[in-house]
Amino acid sequence: MGQLMNVLIVDDEPYNREELKHLLSSFPQIQSIKEAESGEEAIMKTMQHQPDVIFLDVEMPKVSGMEVAKAIQELKKPPLVVFATAYPQFAAEAFRYDAVDYLLKPYDEEQLEETIQRLEKKLGLGKQENQGKTLGKLAVEVEGDIHYLELKDILYMSRIEKRTKLVTMQGEFDTKMPLKELENRLLAYGFFRIHKSFLVNLEHIQRLTPWFNGAYHLQLEGSKDTLSVSRNYVKALRAKLEI
């Protein structure tokens, strides 16, 4: 199992798929999101793409979510199932199929965050951090020269338009490398996404300050910059930092 999860959203309503995709895209633990608009397509895409998690609507034409859950349990590596529906009366039946959670529409962001954390534990994400890895340096090309940055010296990274700024103890560097790619490379080395625009080195976090509507401000050692922590990342960040 990798350090990030691949997700399949199954719902016959395009708006519902789009809403859930938007909410899930803010979680750094999620690597890819695919969609299916029917039970038949869900079974086919599960076999094709082997997602780690399937968010599954219950009430769908022809093949229901329960029938999909039953079918995929027969696979060699069935995905974890989270039911996402407007109908609370199916909850008891849902857990017969080892559902990890049962989310009701409209989605509650805090409940969704708890679901993601539960999925992380089930999938064992983050348990093998740094095992068998050689701590290398991050190569950044600046005006034709390649600079090799010690990971411990990097404070944070931010995405600005089509460039990514790396702020280090020695100064700032620019790279064309997307923040998502850097996140995938550095997740196992103590870096964590706190916002769609910020990736930080956990070792340098000094202070979290409540700000507005569940969000926080973050202060790093060695930097005067104040970074925003989106509310979707606060619980996961605190879980990483605190004993």
Going along the chain from its start, the domains and CATH numbers come out as 5-123 (3.40.50.2300), 137-241 (2.40.50.1020)
Instruction: Read off the pLDDT band of 43 (50, 70, 90).
Output: very high
Task: Give the pair of three-digit tokens for residue 116.
Answer: 């993601």
Helix axes 65-72, 39-49, angle to 10 degrees: 30
pLDDT at 54 > cutoff 60: yes
Task: Give the pair of three-digit tokens for residue 181.
Answer: 């790619």
Residue 197 neighbours by CB under 8 Å, 6+ apart: 158, 159, 160, 179
- For tokens 């094709």, name the residue: 48
Bridge partners of residue 36, in order along the sequence:
10
Which stretch of 135-139, 192-196, 236-240 has the lowest confidence by average pLDDT? 135-139
* CA atoms of 147 and 131, how far apart (whole Å): 26
For residue range 162-221, list pLDDT tens digits in order.
Answer: 889 999 998 899 888 888 888 888 887 889 999 989 999 999 999 999 988 888 999 999
Radius of gyration of the chain measured on its C-alpha atoms: 20
* CA atoms of 54 and 72, how far apart (whole Å): 10
With H, G, I as helix, E, B as strand and everything else as coil, classify residue 194: strand
Q: Which DSSP symbol is given to 176? A: -
Residue 133: burial class (beta carbons within 10 Å; 0-12, 13-18, 19+): exposed
Which stretch of 12-21, 120-129, 203-212 has the lowest confidence by average pLDDT? 120-129
Residue 3: predicted pLDDT: 60
* CA atoms of 95 and 91, how far apart (whole Å): 7
* pTM for the model: 0.56
* CA atoms of 143 and 178, how far apart (whole Å): 18
Do 237 and 200 contact (CB within 8 A), yes or no? Answer: no
